[in-house]
Amino acid sequence: MTTAIEDRAVELLAGRIPFVHATVVRAQVPASARAGDDAIILADGTIEGFVGGQCTENSVRAAALGAIRDGESVLLRVLPENAGAFPETPGARVVVNPCLSGGAMEIFLQPRLPRPLVRVVGGSPIAAALVELGAALGFEMVRAESPVPPTALVLAGHGGDEPAAIRAALDAGVGWIGLVASPRRGSGVLAELTLTDEERARISTPAGLDIGARTAAEIALSILAEIVQEVRAGRLAVPAREETAATAPREAVDPVCGMTVVVGPDTPHLVVDGEDVWFCGPGCRDRYARTAGR
């Protein structure tokens, strides 16, 4: 990772902004990029850095947005039409890019997503163990309120106005709320609330999987195990900064080559009969214009 890209990655991770780090692994002459060139792709399709010309950028942008959505790394092979021999790479995603005039390329796309954000309320030994163990598991553990709703909230204070805290978390959209309490006390706390079935399903009390836990560390482990289970099952969303969700770009299909392109301020397009038509590059745009007599 180049220094400028590395510094930008640190900044984005600190701000809980999802992005993809793209690195050119191989490039055949006459590709404009070289092995080691890298870039950051944001959730709005913005590319910072260099991994090839405009035609390559279109393929990288579309694949990067899919990597952010799926949370999976991708080895992208971008091939021009009638490309020469290029070594097979098992597991690679292949894109034939008709507008690509340079040589074939391989680009590794690694999504860098915000870590699950877990807020712990309370000063009990269980709360302290949660913070310590959660950090080791890769969670971002916080005690204070955060600018975005946490992935999960654990109430481990053994008292206080727990019904109000649960209601506030439900209204804020927190996906999982764990109440550390005995079955009897937990039922009493929930009885003070008016809950829909959907809201009740988001509350776990006694919090944690039943592993026979006794010590504070074991109880914390059982709670974190339940959170992991919910995240891996796809029932818990990991929050990013609020504005990232609102900037997701739209996609269109190039009518000439059939490529999916991400629409941005620099995407080539024509206005045909009052409607925008988007293209992967100037070549397809000009070809369409000539064919349509425009």
Say if residue 163 is exposed, middle or buried (CB neighbours under 10 Å; 0-12, 13-18, 19+). Answer: middle
pLDDT of residue 290: 84
Partners of 24 in the β-ladder:
107
pLDDT, one tens digit per residue, over 145-197 is 878 889 999 999 877 899 999 999 999 999 999 999 999 999 999 999 999 99
Average pLDDT of the chain is 86
CB atoms within 10 A of CB 1: 15
d(CA 227, CA 193): 23
CB atoms within 10 A of CB 227: 26
The strand order across the sheet containing 105-112 reads: 47-49, 38-42, 19-27, 105-112, 74-80, 93-97
- Helices vs. strands in the chain: H and E counts, helices first: 9, 15
pLDDT of residue 243: 47
pLDDT of residue 78: 86
Mean pLDDT of 9-34: 90
Number of residues that make up the chain = 294
pLDDT, one tens digit per residue, over 79-90 is 877 665 555 666
* List of residues 6+ apart from 73 with CB closer than 8 A: 67, 108, 109, 110, 111
147 is written with which tokens?
A: 């600018």
pLDDT of residue 246: 47
pLDDT of residue 162: 94
User: What residue segments make up the domains of the chain, in order of their start?
Assistant: 3-112, 117-239, 250-291
33, 105 Cβ separation under 8 angstroms? yes
pLDDT, one tens digit per residue, over 29-58 is 777 889 999 999 999 889 999 998 877 888
Element (H, E) at 260: strand 260-262
Pick the CATH number of 117-239 from 3.40.50.720, 3.65.10.10, 3.40.640.10, 3.30.70.2970: 3.40.50.720
pLDDT, one tens digit per residue, over 186-226 is 999 999 999 999 999 999 999 999 999 999 999 999 999 99
